[in-house]
C-alpha cells in the first residue's frame, strides 16, 4: 500500500471534491459514525430529513457525536437541524457551531465549533464536499438525468467495501486502453482520452465478452470522472445503460467503493422483462468491474509506470488528478498539462461522425 506522498500528488493527503459517503438507505433517524478522509465523522439527518456531516468529536470533552446511547433522553438528540452531544448535551448546528449549552447562559465562545462539510443527497446517495482548504465547492455533482427519467430503471447500490489501494490506481483506468483485452475480453475499435478542467473523459468502443453490444458488434462508451471520485459511464448497445462507480478515500491508501447500474426500460412502468434485463445488466456490469477489482486487490503500487509508447496517456491523467491534491489556486497549472484530446498509439480515435 502506498500513500499520497509516495505518488507525489501534492500538498494535501486527501483530495478536494464531492465524494459519496453513504447510501441514502444507510442513514435513518439515528446519527451514524463514519470514517472518511482519515477522520472520524458524524452523519445525521435533521428534522427536515436533510443530511448533515460534522467532525465527530465535541470540542468540550471529545465525546463522539454519533456515540450509541441507550438512555431515552439521549436518544432524542436531534433538534431541528442541530445535534446534541450525548455526553453533556451541547448542541451543534449543521454549520458546526455550538448554538446551545444547557447549563450556560453567557456568550458561547467561537472555539466551540466543529468542522462541517457541505452535503447533498442525490441518486440514492449522500455526498460530502471535502476540501483541505475548507472553501465552498468550486464544481458540482455530475448530472445523471436518467435517475429521474421514468423511462429508466434506478439502481440499488452495491457497497463493495474497501480496497487497500490509493484511488490514484483506480483513476488510472480512465486512460488504460490496453487492459480491456486481457481483463475484460474486449476488442477495442477506438479509444480517446479527453480532459477538460475537472472532467476526465474516456470515449471507447468495441466488442465485449460480458456487456451486450449492438448488431454491428460495437458498444459505444462515454465514461467520465467529474472530480476525483465520481465515475459515470454511459453504454449504448442493445439496451442503454449507465454504470456508476463512486470511490472515496477512507485512509491514505485505503479506498471505499460503491457500484450501481441503471438501464433504459422498454415499457413504462417497467415490465417484468425490463426488470429481468436490468438485473442481467447489473450482474454483468458488476462482474466486469469485479475483474478490475481483483487486480487492484493483488497488485503492488504503480508509483512510477514503466510507460510504453502504446500505453494510454497515463501522464496526462496523473497530471489532471494532481489538481485535486493541491491548492485550488494551482488547478489551472495541472489542467494545462492535461487538457485536450489524446490518443493511444496504435488505436484509432473516434470517427468524425462519432465525435461531438
Q: Whose CA is closest to 317, among 231, 232, 194, 138?
A: 194
pTM as predicted = 0.93
201 CB neighbour count, 10 Å cutoff: 18
Strand partners, 100: 91
Kindly tell me if the per-residue pLDDT of 214 is higher than 80: no
Query: Please, how many CA atoms are within 13 Å of residue 124, restricted to the half-sphere of its CB?
Result: 18
Q: Note the pLDDT tens digit of each residue in 104-132.
A: 999 999 999 999 999 999 999 999 999 99
pLDDT in tens, 4-56: 999 999 999 999 999 999 999 999 999 999 999 999 999 999 999 999 999 99
Average pLDDT for 180-203: 93
Digit-coded pLDDT (tens) for 238-284: 779 999 999 999 999 999 999 999 999 988 888 999 999 899 989 98
**What domains are defined for the chain?**
17-130 (2.102.10.10), 145-342 (3.90.380.10)
Whole-number Å distance between alpha carbons of 72 and 124? 30
Whether residue 18 contacts residue 122, with contact meaning beta carbons closer than 8 Å, is answered with: no
pLDDT at 345 over 60: yes
For position 207, what pLDDT does the model report? Answer: 73
Cell 438528540: give the residue: 77
CA–CA gap between residue 23 and residue 106 (Å, rounded): 40
Share of the chain above pLDDT 70, in %: 94
pLDDT at 237 over 90: no
| 48 touches 81 (CB < 8 A) | yes
Determine contact, residues 246/229, Cβ cutoff 8 Å.
yes
Q: What is the mean pLDDT of residues 324-347?
A: 97
49: left (phi over 0), alpha (psi -120 to 50) or beta: left
119 within 8 A of 136, measured Cβ to Cβ = no
Amino acid at each position: 500500500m502506498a500513500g499520497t506522498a509516495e505518488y507525489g500528488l501534492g500538498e494535501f493527503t486527501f483530495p478536494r471534491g464531492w465524494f459519496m459517503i453513504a447510501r441514502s438507505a444507510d442513514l435513518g433517524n439515528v446519527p451514524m459514525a463514519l470514517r472518511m478522509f482519515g477522520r472520524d465523522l458524524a452523519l445525521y439527518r435533521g428534522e427536515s430529513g436533510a443530511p448533515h456531516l460534522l467532525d465527530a468529536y465535541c470540542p468540550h470533552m471529545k465525546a463522539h457525536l454519533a456515540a450509541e446511547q441507550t438512555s431515552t433522553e439521549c436518544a432524542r438528540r436531534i433538534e431541528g437541524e442541530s445535534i446534541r452531544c450525548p455526553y453533556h448535551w451541547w448542541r451543534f448546528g449543521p454549520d458546526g457551531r455550538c448554538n446551545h449549552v444547557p447549563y450556560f447562559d453567557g456568550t458561547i465562545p467561537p472555539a466551540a465549533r466543529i468542522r462541517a462539510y457541505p452535503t447533498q443527497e442525490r441518486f440514492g446517495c449522500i455526498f460530502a464536499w471535502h476540501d483541505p482548504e475548507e472553501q465552498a465547492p468550486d464544481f458540482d455533482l455530475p448530472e445523471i438525468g436518467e435517475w429521474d427519467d421514468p423511462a429508466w430503471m434506478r439502481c440499488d447500490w452495491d457497497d463493495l467495501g474497501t480496497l487497500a489501494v490509493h484511488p490514484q490506481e483506480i483513476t488510472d483506468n480512465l486512460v488504460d486502453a490496453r487492459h480491456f483485452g486481457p481483463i475484460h475480453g474486449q476488442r477495442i475499435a477506438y479509444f480517446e482520452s479527453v480532459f477538460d478542467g475537472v472532467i476526465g473523459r474516456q470515449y471507447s468502443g468495441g466488442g465485449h465478452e460480458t456487456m451486450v453490444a449492438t448488431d454491428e458488434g460495437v458498444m459505444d462508451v462515454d465514461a467520465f470522472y467529474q472530480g476525483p471520485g465520481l465515475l459515470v459511464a454511459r453504454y449504448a448497445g442493445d439496451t442503454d445503460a449507465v454504470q456508476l462507480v463512486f470511490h472515496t478515500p477512507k485512509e491514505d491508501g485505503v479506498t471505499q467503493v460503491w457500484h450501481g447500474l441503471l438501464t433504459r426500460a422498454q415499457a413504462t412502468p417497467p415490465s417484468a422483462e425490463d426488470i429481468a434485463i436490468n438485473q442481467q445488466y447489473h450482474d454483468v456490469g458488476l462482474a466486469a468491474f469485479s475483474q478490475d477489482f481483483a487486480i487492484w486487490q493483488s497488485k503492488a503500487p504503480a508509483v512510477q509506470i514503466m510507460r510504453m509508447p502504446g500505453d494510454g496517456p497515463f501522464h496526462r491523467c496523473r497530471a489532471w488528478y494532481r489538481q485535486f491534491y493541491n491548492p485550488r489556486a494551482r488547478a489551472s497549472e495541472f489542467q494545462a498539462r492535461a487538457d485536450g484530446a489524446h490518443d493511444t498509439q496504435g488505436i484509432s480515435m473516434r470517427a468524425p461522425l462519432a465525435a461531438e
